[in-house]
Structure 1
Amino acid sequence: MNAILFQSANVLDVASLQLKTGQDVWVENGMIKSVGPHQADVFIPSGTKVIKAEGKTLMPGMIDCHVHVIAAHLNLNITANQPNVFATLRALPIMKGMLMRGFTTVRDAGGGDWNLAEATRTDMVEGPRIFASGRALSQTGGHGDGRPRSDVIEPCGCSSRVGALARVVDGVDNVRLAVREEIMKGANQIKIMASGGVASPNDPIHYLGYSEAEIRAIVEEAEHAGTYVMAHAYTPKAIHRSVAFGVRSIEHGNLIDEATAQFMAEKGAFMVPTLITYEALANEGESLGLPAVSVAKIETVRSQGQKALELLAKVGVKMALGSDLLGESHRHQSEELRIRASILGNGAALQQATLNAAELINMSGQLGVVKAGAIADLLLVNGNPLTDISCLLGQGDHIEVIVKDGKVYKQA
């Protein structure tokens, strides 16, 4: 039996946004067995790991719903074209860094696959639990097509290299096959490019990705496999048509307007804003090798991101936390919490990184909570994030204990 007892912790209830003081939390075989008032004379079975938690906050492991664990460079073409073994090895410190910041689960939005997910699940390497999308799907010339402008287009953008975040596929029959292939290879959900983007050469932000027939086919195939579709989309038109065609999760969404936000709320679609990536790209992108065409696009979406966050909250769209960082900027991951807390408050930021994120990945009640029957993903924090979000920032400096699946990965 693998058992842990957190003694006399202040347990963060992310639903009520209250601290329950003086709680004992028992963990057995990867699950939370019980949560209740501290008992000084309780029998503790031999072999139980006892962690003194008085005065500290015990909270759920956080969930980042938009990462790219394979993205070791800001220039995605460099990432895509590096040797496979380099792409894999460079992902290892990225994944460990995420876990050490308290993100015990991530949803990879393109590039991360079943192999990396299985490697972290089996402790072959240290990293978060990964809900992988495999290769994101992009139309020719879309956000996932990294081929340069040329007199002759290279014959295939359907890269299967480990470092490739996306694959190019066009046509209803072909996108159906692509979804089936990604699901067969172990994708937990399907990612599509539904508008232009920043870190790609040939697609202005206003470009629309995929026809209605293609998107509906992708959604139908994902639903047949018991999962859903997430879509990269910035503009109101790109967002509206994606949701209308059955997409469940919109990524970024910086340029959304009120009518489109209301439509999302009516349809129960999620938004995953990724504000920290634009700060990082604006401040460091050029010096770290981001192509000039991408640097020029940043301000188009950066300035609208915080306004979009306020609008989405006002209308009642469910939001989950995402970061979308690349290369050296992965170290800024926790700053997404700071940005959201400064606009929406600490409680909302915490819920987006726990409850809402768990619901989005279809893990409600299993992740993102500290309660009996949930998976034991836990953080023991020196501080109270309800009143001071800074205790979760940086590289996990104030997180004293990190538990994933009932196993201790950090104990200060």
Structure 2
Amino acid sequence: MNLVLRNARLLDPLSGEYTEGDLRCESGRIVETGPGLSAPDARSIDVRGAVVLPGLVDAHVHVTASTADLGSLPSTSPSYVAAHSARTMSRMLDRGFTTVRDASGADYGLADAQSEGLFRGPRLLFCGRALSQTGGHGDSRTRGANAKDDHPCCAGLGRVADGVDAVRAAARDELRKGAHHIKVMASGGVASPTDRIDSTQYSADELSAIVEEASAANRYVAAHAYTARAVNRALELGIRSIEHGNLLDDRSVSLFLDHDAYLVPTLVTYWALKEEGREHGLPESSWRKVDEVLGAGLAALERAARGGVKIVYGTDLLGGMHRHQNHEFRLRAEVQTPLEVLRSATSTAADLVDLTGEIGTLAVGAYGDLLVVEGDPLDDVGVLAEPKNFRYIVQGGEVVGGTAA
């Protein structure tokens, strides 16, 4: 875990500037940068002028979503889902993502297993199960199903809780199990069978109670929300992170700024769901919903970026579509500068997940999570859309992948 990268172009995402020199990691952290570093006991790699940047962060993943048919997960063996999750996370690491924030489904077991080295994968920031009202985006029952099974050992992305007391208990339970954040379903969604995309979900009192519980534990709430009505309501009630936000409006932009909140668009998932969602288990009824949000996502991103909203990288891919994770870089580049897109997957993402100075930076003291990249991502952020450009992938100061590894 002692490593020196020599003759590098070190890219600071915050300033957008390059520094030429060496970088040394020791005991999993960056300990020194500068020219001609002396480290006789460390592994030394001459990167010959290649770009070195922080490991990437994807702030909206579902590592347990082995299929786009989310309603089938609760009846799937937890051990089978865990095996799929380990493979999914290993492939995410191969795409340059050294930290991911799971937006429902993953638990402390997967996070502990990864941190203990039982399988390779990105650092996992989990929320457990998302909180959903009856008939909400996290309620996977069809109209004819009445019984709900929220047994903790079963796979699944959501848990149903109704009423202020019940949502307080559900939030406390996820926090008890170590949740890094709480996820709530504040509007309808594509992959749920009985709700409308344009609905708002949970009462103001319920959402406020969830925010209060998260704040009491020094955690925050992320909310699934599409329409401006749902987004604006969630922001007014103290939600810190809006997931998707495809149909936000100008008032949304003002509220993001007023409440120091973050937007996590997930453009690539709608592109993938439309192209091949049905091949990977997405029910026909859900596939027909995709058009309601597909075209609006890029316009919403442009509006938010123009207004100065803090934007974070997210993908939200399911099943076999996880392989498109890096394509989000290309989609965002249509309306954002390369530096803006890069920050969304590094420094701004670190701020959202309360790991400022720990990830998303090459500063001394940060985790030794690095990418050695062929090409200049500030000239063309599409360089990051092709993992074949990643010469070395470094996690915790150790080379864990890349074309030259």
Name the TM-score, length of structure 1 as normaliser.
Answer: 0.96
Q: Distance in 2 between matches of 1:203 and 1:6?
A: 52
Residue of 374, 379, 400 corresponding to 1:409 = 400
> Which residue number corresponds to residue 203 of structure 2?
211
**SS class of match (1:287):** helix
User: Residue 391 of structure 1: CA displacement?
Assistant: 2.4
> Which residue number corresponds to residue 142 of structure 1?
136
> Which residue number corresponds to residue 16 of structure 2?
17
Q: CA RMSD of the aligned region, Å? A: 1.2
Residue of 273, 276, 280 corresponding to 1:284 = 276
Which contiguous aligned blocks of 4+ residues in structure 1 show a shift greater than 6 angstroms? none
> Which residue number corresponds to residue 341 of structure 1?
333
Is 1:33 paired with 2:28? Answer: no
Q: Distance in 2 between matches of 1:54 and 1:20?
A: 14
Q: 1:81 to 1:64 in 2, by over 3 A?
A: same
User: Residue 163 of structure 1: CA displacement?
Assistant: 2.4
Q: Distance in 1 between matches of 2:160 and 2:52?
A: 44
| Contact kept? 1:136, 1:193, Cα under 8 Å | yes
Q: Distance in 1 between matches of 2:275 and 2:39?
A: 52
Structure 2 matches for 1:373-388, cutoff 5 A?
373-388=365-380
Residue of 390, 402, 405 corresponding to 1:399 = 390
| Contact kept? 2:185, 2:201, Cα under 8 Å | yes
| Contact kept? 2:222, 2:242, Cα under 8 Å | yes
User: Residue 118 of structure 1: CA displacement?
Assistant: 1.0
**SS class of match (1:164):** coil
Residue of 31, 34, 45 corresponding to 2:40 = 45
| Contact kept? 1:147, 1:157, Cα under 8 Å | no
Q: Report % sequence identity.
A: 43
Q: Distance in 2 between matches of 1:300 and 1:143?
A: 15
Q: 1:35 to 1:125 in 2, by over 3 A?
A: same
Q: 1:207 to 1:157 in 2, by over 3 A?
A: farther
> Which residue number corresponds to residue 164 of structure 1?
156
Which runs of no fewer than 5 residues in structure 1 stay unpaired? none
Structure 2 matches for 1:152-301, cutoff 5 A?
153-301=145-293
User: Residue 43 of structure 1: CA displacement?
Assistant: 3.5
Residue of 339, 346, 350 corresponding to 1:358 = 350
Q: Distance in 1 between matches of 2:154 and 2:388?
A: 32
1:8-49 per-position Cα deviation (integer Å, ceiling 9, x unaligned): 10011111212222x11011111111111x22xx54323x11
User: Residue 155 of structure 1: CA displacement?
Assistant: 2.8
Q: Distance in 2 between matches of 1:59 and 1:279?
A: 28
User: Residue 388 of structure 1: CA displacement?
Assistant: 2.3
User: Residue 157 of structure 1: CA displacement?
Assistant: 4.8
Q: Distance in 2 between matches of 1:264 and 1:92?
A: 35
**SS class of match (2:278):** coil
1:156-208 per-position Cα deviation (integer Å, ceiling 9, x unaligned): 25343442011111111111111111111111100000000001100110111
Q: Distance in 2 between matches of 1:385 and 1:302?
A: 26
User: Residue 387 of structure 1: CA displacement?
Assistant: 1.2
Q: Distance in 2 between matches of 1:287 and 1:331?
A: 14
Is 1:129 paired with 2:123? Answer: yes
Report the count of equivalent residues: 403
| Contact kept? 2:30, 2:368, Cα under 8 Å | yes
Q: Distance in 2 between matches of 1:80 and 1:106?
A: 23
| Contact kept? 2:94, 2:393, Cα under 8 Å | yes
Q: Distance in 2 between matches of 1:341 and 1:403?
A: 25
Q: 1:104 to 1:338 in 2, by over 3 A?
A: same
Q: Distance in 1 between matches of 2:202 and 2:161?
A: 10
Which runs of no fewer than 5 residues in structure 2 stay unpaired? none
The code of the aligned residue for 1:50 comes to S
Residue of 73, 79, 89 corresponding to 1:85 = 79
Residue of 108, 114, 120 corresponding to 1:114 = 108
Q: Distance in 2 between matches of 1:184 and 1:288?
A: 34
Q: Distance in 2 between matches of 1:406 and 1:213?
A: 46
| Contact kept? 2:2, 2:398, Cα under 8 Å | no
The code of the aligned residue for 2:27 comes to N
| Contact kept? 1:158, 1:169, Cα under 8 Å | no
Q: Distance in 2 between matches of 1:65 and 1:44?
A: 35
User: Residue 259 of structure 1: CA displacement?
Assistant: 1.4
**SS class of match (1:297):** coil
User: Residue 389 of structure 1: CA displacement?
Assistant: 2.2
